[in-house]
Structure 1
Amino acid sequence: MWLKKGVTEEKRWFYPISAFTVGVIVTVTALWTLFYPHIQMHFGLDTAATIVLGATFSGIGSMILAPPIAGIILDKYGPKINFILAALFLAGGHVLISRMLKLTDWSVAMYYWYIGSFLIGFGTGFFAGTHTATVGKWFPDKTGTAMGLAVAGAGTGTIIYSPLVAAYIRANGFNGTIFLFFAVISAAAMLFIMTPFWRTPEHDWLPKTMQGQTTVAKAAPVSKDFTFEEAIRDKRFWVMGVCFVCAAFSLMFFTQNVTLI
């Protein structure tokens, strides 16, 4: 079955390396503050208050709604379906925002901005919620190293994109081509790098470095692979959930608005 085809144990470092690479490519929502003054000027707005609201929709999609949905699908079918959905959401969101810039009335255009921002965030959340969990399954022996490499792509992408996008805007003006570019490369990364080659290991799989462990060690609670349904019945899930929601709102509140201060 195609859902179970992908890179095997012998090349498992492909997972964090490709997650880093694709994270660089698709994680662009941290650039949103770069666009605020240009959107404000394009539509002749007095304040940026209604523009900033797009960051809220992006954060709700990426940090709150998408990851648990992606987790349920991952448990049942593996990562491929999530990456296909991420490609659709990311491409659709960017195309909507590119269409927004063809309009002149903000009372209409703002809905393109809000829905597009939400879809991009939702697609990013599908990607992030899937690749982190999958990398964790492939690296129970080196979780910190593999996970650190995988998630570093998002921050690296912001560092790379910021000067490039700013240079493009200075040279060509603020236009929809930027978002069409993001739509194409995001969909291509998901469909041609992630979807064909990613899969989860068998439920009882362990790397060779851990196969000699004692039965007692294998039965330790820290090594249990919880499904989403099992996790929501554990109070620790809800404690961590509250912490993550608070952290997510704090992060988005700061990073998406700091350039306006």
Structure 2
Amino acid sequence: MIMIANLQYGWSVFVAPMQHAHNWAVTSIQVAFTIFVALETWATPVNALICDRIGPRFGPRLVMGAGGILVAAGWVLDAYTSSLTALYIGGALTGFGAGAIYCVSVGTAVKWFPDRRGLATGLVAAGFGAGAALTIIPIKMHIAAYGYESAFLLFGLIQGGVVLVASQFIRHPNPGEVKAVAGGASKQSLRSYTSKEVLGSWVFWVLYVCDVLMCAGGLVVTANLVSIANSHNISTVMILGVATLSLALVFANVMNGVARPLFGWIADQIGLPKTMMIGFSLGAVAYFCLFMFGGIPAAFVLCTGLVFFCWGNIFSLFPAMCTNLFGTKYATTNASLLYTAKGTAALLVPLASIVTRITGSWDSVLLVATVINVIAVFVVGLILTPAAKKFQSDEVAADAALVAKVA
């Protein structure tokens, strides 16, 4: 997961060099990012289905290993491309590969640790959220010294190679190897629902809409963090001997990673719906503060970190809730179906750039993100929580009816 973090969270440092080298419009370059996110999410059900069908021993290894090869191939292609078409193909390769790695990693976590599902998923997802903090400055330095093409080539080969090796040590539990947990703050289904049943469940679609709402704002800031800093003319302002943008990039990725296991642990203690409402409320505050104080270098760093902190929690909370509701046997595929919400939200990334170009600032985009977070709080409290309770009550009633019928 650490090895695919740069594909998303390091992307913004490549945008300006590519624009300068080829005179491509930023909106055109960001189409590649949208393709990456779309396939990294929308293709995960395919990867997960293949993984589950092959079996717990070899499925994870083969799917994740193939993902490592595709990740390397995508960035190597980006290193040599001289056309937008090739750049988009590179985005597609890395997207499909990253999706394979992500779905296997999350599927592994939710299956092995039912008693600490939120924390386990958060720890695994933290690799994707914070992994770029280790390499974002080295990548920026490498681009400055040798060009973005060399950075794509070198880091693409390293990232893909490490994934290919690490994947051979992954497996899912065999049937009966891990027992379901009845207690805890969140009720867990003892039945495993197939993907067809999940897609036919209305509570899944309530969860999906909420996921889309939360993904949208974070993706916009992730893809355009450099542009937002440049719009305030603070990118190169020094803070404690470090440029504002570099410090913000590292701090944001660290906070993104910290949030995932932290909110997952909190959810294990007080329940997922309550934790979601807390996180989304803090997210509204974070976007509004970035809107209000983003022009101040120190405030930009702190507010950006808070945005990523409040956004990162969704990648531990939503997979855990999906597995609690629909069971573990098909958890890799079902969590991947929910993860496609991120791809749906990615469609808004180019739209944000267009709005900014029309209005001349990022203020309107940040205000919309603030409102979206507020809406998400109400969706969880007034719709998702009652829907989940009713779904679980219906499940209990159905099981009781089946037992009575057999008796």
TM-score over 0.5 (shorter chain): yes
Q: How far did 1:116 drift?
A: 0.7
C-alpha spacing 1:140/1:52, structure 2 compared with 1 (3 Å): same
Q: How far did 1:150 drift?
A: 0.7
Distance 1:183 1:118 in 2: 14
Partner of 2:153: 180
Partner of 2:44: 67
Residue of structure 1 aligned with 2:101, choices 115, 127, 138: 127
Partner of 2:65: 84
Q: How far did 1:57 drift?
A: 0.8
Partner of 2:20: 41
Partner of 1:235: 202
| 1:154-205 Cα distance to aligned partner (Å, 9 max, x none) | 1221212211111112222x242212223322322222111x2211112333
Residue of structure 2 aligned with 1:98, choices 79, 89, 98: 79
Taking structure 2 as the reference length, the TM-score comes to: 0.50
Gap regions ≥5 residues in structure 1: 1-22, 104-108
RCO higher in 1 or 2 (8 Å CA, sep ≥ 6)?
1
Residue of structure 1 aligned with 2:132, choices 158, 161, 186: 158
C-alpha spacing 1:205/1:230, structure 2 compared with 1 (3 Å): farther
Q: How far did 1:221 drift?
A: 5.2
Q: How far did 1:118 drift?
A: 2.2
Secondary structure at 2:192 match in 1: coil
- Aligned AA for 2:98? T
Partner of 1:200: 172
Partner of 1:247: 214
Q: Which moved more, 1:91-100 or 1:198-207?
A: 198-207
Secondary structure at 2:193 match in 1: coil
Secondary structure at 1:205 match in 2: coil
| 1:49-92 Cα distance to aligned partner (Å, 9 max, x none) | 211222111110112x1221122122212312211221232122
Matched, 1:137 2:114: no
Contact 2:43 2:96 in 1 (8 A): yes
C-alpha spacing 1:250/1:68, structure 2 compared with 1 (3 Å): farther
Distance 1:85 1:242 in 2: 31
Q: Over alpha carbons, which structure has the higher Rg? A: 2
- Aligned AA for 2:176? D
Over aligned residue pairs, what C-alpha RMSD do you find? 2.4
Contact 1:75 1:227 in 2 (8 A): no
Q: Which moved more, 1:152-161 or 1:131-140?
A: 152-161
Query: Identity rate of aligned residues, in percent?
Result: 26
Partner of 2:29: 51
Partner of 2:335: none
Secondary structure at 1:25 match in 2: helix
Secondary structure at 2:135 match in 1: helix
